[in-house]
Amino acid sequence: MERAYNFNAGPSALPLDVLQLAQKELVNFKETGMSVMELSHRSKEYDRVHEDAQQLLRELLEIPDNYDVLFMQGGASLQFAMIPMNFLGKEQTANYVLTGSWSEKAVKEAKFIGETKIGASTKESGYSTIPSIADITYSSDDAYLHITSNNTIYGTQWQTYPTGHSIPLIADMSSDILSRPIPVSEFGLIYAGAQKNLGPSGVTVVIIRKDLHERTPDHLPTMLRYDTQSKSNSLYNTPPTFAIYMLSQVLAWVKEKGGTTAIAKQNEAKAKLIYDAIDESSGFYRGHAEQGSRSLMNITFNLPSDELNKKFLQEAKEKGFVGLNGHRSIGGCRASTYNAVPVEACEALRQFMVEFKRIHS
């Protein structure tokens, strides 16, 4: 079977080695005579899967012992509400930095819970940049500062984080977690939907500093409390067992590749192939993100006209490229180069871009 050049923004490419292992184990996991999807989540066989995923995450991201690693459901969208529910007190304000559509959705949910503020925003520039850390405003009554580390729609990414303040830093890292080393100890909470760099959709990873559990109000329903999942080791209710199994296999694959440092170097090389095609095109390809804010995960660009955008996308599809359409809210083109996208796919895209420009410029 010939594999597609998969540049989907999410659900996205998974490592072929992981898919082949899952295929091999699908109907008989570890000689149990059952699929991992059929195992009891209370069984010792599944317990090993669960623990492996937690320990591999701790190892790869160097997560300190005073942090919980939780496996939850509902995607990042549920976290948008759970965070203020657990941490936004009556006399406090939730501080959000707006860098794209997902940060807008996060603050929208927080407004249902309590007071919010915008510490910084690049909306006026069309979300083409990440704000300067020096431009973020803080207050003594801020409950936390929330950022979105990478913006899939606009193709921007935080190069350095706004750390060093006494208020907890919370980050939605759904689209760039595991793509580079992260200073976890500088954050109060990190959350990420799995369907971009961690595995298939269905599980959300939450990394939370344990002392923050003390801030959860007593009246909050059981399933909306982080301490519920902490006390039960993410087994209070039936977890998405197959998604966690796949997460564990993807983490093992990253470890085999040399960990986040090695993965980061490869991601830089992959993104450079495509950004160079943009920068060397004499304006034929126009990147959306400004250079200092460019994402290594989502490369967004336009051609000189909508007609050429459509022609580019149609011809790319015919040549086996998948997922290059920009988000429906802004159009254009987008190449998502997550960890599992091979270098060969990025080389092929670069070659196609150079040839398309030669013919149509």
Alpha-helix runs per DSSP H in 226-295: 226-231, 241-256, 259-279
Coil, helix or strand at residue 127: coil
Distance CA 64, CA 72 (A): 20
172 part of the active site: yes
196 part of the active site: yes
Distance CA 195, CA 80 (A): 17
* Residue from 102, 176, 227, 253 carrying the catalytic annotation: 102
Radius of gyration of the chain (CA): 21
For 335, the token pair is 């190449």
The residues, any chain, with a CB within 8 Å of residue 140's CB and separated by 6 or more, are none
Alpha-helix runs per DSSP H in the chain: 16-25, 44-61, 75-87, 101-113, 226-231, 241-256, 259-279, 306-318, 343-360
253 part of the active site: no
* Residue from 68, 172, 176, 227 carrying the catalytic annotation: 172
For 58, the token pair is 């701790």
Nearest to 96 by CA among 54, 58, 138, 62: 138
For 192, the token pair is 């990420």
Coil, helix or strand at residue 38: helix
* Residue from 196, 227, 270, 357 carrying the catalytic annotation: 196
> Integer distance in angstroms from the first to the last C-alpha of the chain?
35
- Residue 161 is classified by DSSP as -
Distance CA 189, CA 94 (A): 14
Which sequence positions are flagged as catalytic? 102, 172, 196
